[in-house]
Amino acid sequence: MNERLKGKTVVITGASGGLGEKIAHLCAASGARPVLLARNQEKLAQVARQIGDGQHVDCLPIVCDLSRQEEIPSVFQEILQETGGIDILVNNAGYGVFAEAGEVSLADLQGMFSVNVVGLIACTTEVIPVMKERRSGHIINIASQAGKLATPKSSVYSATKHAVLGYTNSLRMELADFGVFVTAVNPGPMATNFFDIADPGGSYVENVGRFILSTDKVAQKIVAAMMTRRREINMPGWMNAGSLAYTLFPGLVERLGKKAFFKK
């Protein structure tokens, strides 16, 4: 439970399953009203019903495709009309495709940047004026450990998450004087349907299965940090230590980690 969330409106992208769904359930359990954004209307409605039945909270499910950025302003206008304000935005939607740099299709390249970067920025742009005016709010961007330490077969995906981290770090400084918190979340691999697209052959999941994070644990960390000044959430700790080591000794980490990095 996070007592700070009582009566708050929390907008969550990618909320029809996985981490986004878990965050929505926990926010509702803490007394917040989740606004669920995703492409799949049927799954959104199902999650909203489950939260309504389990937590007796009125969820607001809205179909939104982040790759169609021209529709995002009207979506957020609808949210503001229905709720009167947005207290927290969780930019969770995103996907990846594992392929070597020379084999990534143009469609996959454009798709990952469209959703992971441009869609995230477009949603954030809609809430900035609202939060600045109220001098309160929290923007939480789900990045990745891949944004700190790029590995083979994730060149484009890592590039999108590097972009998210750069945007988040700049945004944090811009909004600090307005009472708006900005947090980057950098998880390692999680047990979601992410790998259905990223790793359809299953080799990566097979190789790193024992290191995969549970969405419950990641969601709990995120919800506990809501409406606090938490700068980053990095999970798991040992993987973040590797990312820090890479910052200090990139050549050494690349040499020592080469075999492990190619296990995708």
| Prediction pTM value | 0.90
Residue that the structure tokens 């890479």 belong to: 246
Bridge-based pairing state of the strands 9-13 and 88-91: parallel
Helices 237-248, 250-261: inter-axial angle, 10-degree rounding: 130
- Inform me whether the pLDDT recorded for 101 exceeds 80: yes
For 206-239, what is each residue's pLDDT tens digit? 545 556 899 999 999 999 999 999 999 999 888 8
Out of 157, 167, 204, 246, the active site residue is 157
- Would you state the pLDDT for residue 55? 85
Confidence band, pLDDT 50/70/90 cuts, at residue 54: confident
Domain of 178: which CATH number?
3.40.50.720
- Inform me whether the pLDDT recorded for 1 exceeds 90: no
Average pLDDT over residues 244-253: 82
Q: Which residue has better confidence, 236 or 192?
A: 236
Q: Identify whether 157 is a catalytic site residue.
A: yes
- Are residues 98 and 142 in contact, defined by beta-carbon separation less than 8 angstroms? no
Average pLDDT over residues 49-78: 95
Confidence band, pLDDT 50/70/90 cuts, at residue 242: confident
Q: Which residue has better confidence, 140 or 194?
A: 140
- Would you state the pLDDT for residue 27? 98
Confidence band, pLDDT 50/70/90 cuts, at residue 194: low
For 119-171, what is each residue's pLDDT tens digit? 999 999 999 999 999 999 999 999 999 999 988 999 999 999 999 999 999 99
- Inform me whether the pLDDT recorded for 192 exceeds 60: no
- Inform me whether the pLDDT recorded for 199 exceeds 60: no
Number of domains in the chain: 1
- Are residues 127 and 76 in contact, defined by beta-carbon separation less than 8 angstroms? yes
**pLDDT > 70: percent of the chain:** 89
Burial of 44 (0-12, 13-18, 19+ CB in 10 A): buried
- Would you state the pLDDT for residue 243? 85
3-state SS, one letter per residue, for the chain: CCHHHCCCEEEEECCCCHHHHHHHHHHHHCCCEEEEEECCHHHHHHHHHHHHHHHCCCCEEEECCCCCHHHHHHHHHHHHHHHCCCCEEEECCCCCCCCCHHHCCHHHHHHHHHHHHHHHHHHHHHHHHHHHHHCCEEEEEECCHHHCCCCCCCHHHHHHHHHHHHHHHHHHHHHHHHCEEEEEEEECCECCCHHHHHCCCCHHHHHHHHHCECHHHHHHHHHHHCCCCCCEEEECHHHHHHHHHHHHCHHHHHHHHHHHHCCC
Average pLDDT over residues 78-105: 95
Distance CA 88, CA 230 (A): 14
Look up residue 168 and give its two tokens.
Answer: 């988040």
Give the burial string for 109-147 (b: 16+ CB within 10 Å, else e): bebbbbbbbbbbbbbbebbbebbbeeebbbbbbbbbbbb
Four-CA torsion 147, 148, 152, 156, nearest 10 degrees: 20
- Would you state the pLDDT for residue 202? 54
- Would you state the pLDDT for residue 129? 97
- Would you state the pLDDT for residue 163? 98
Domain that holds residue 149: 3-261
- Are residues 218 and 188 in contact, defined by beta-carbon separation less than 8 angstroms? no
- Inform me whether the pLDDT recorded for 258 exceeds 70: no
Q: Other C-beta atoms within 10 Å of 69: how many?
A: 16
Q: Which residues pair with 182 in a beta bridge?
A: 139
Q: Which residue has better confidence, 8 or 195?
A: 8
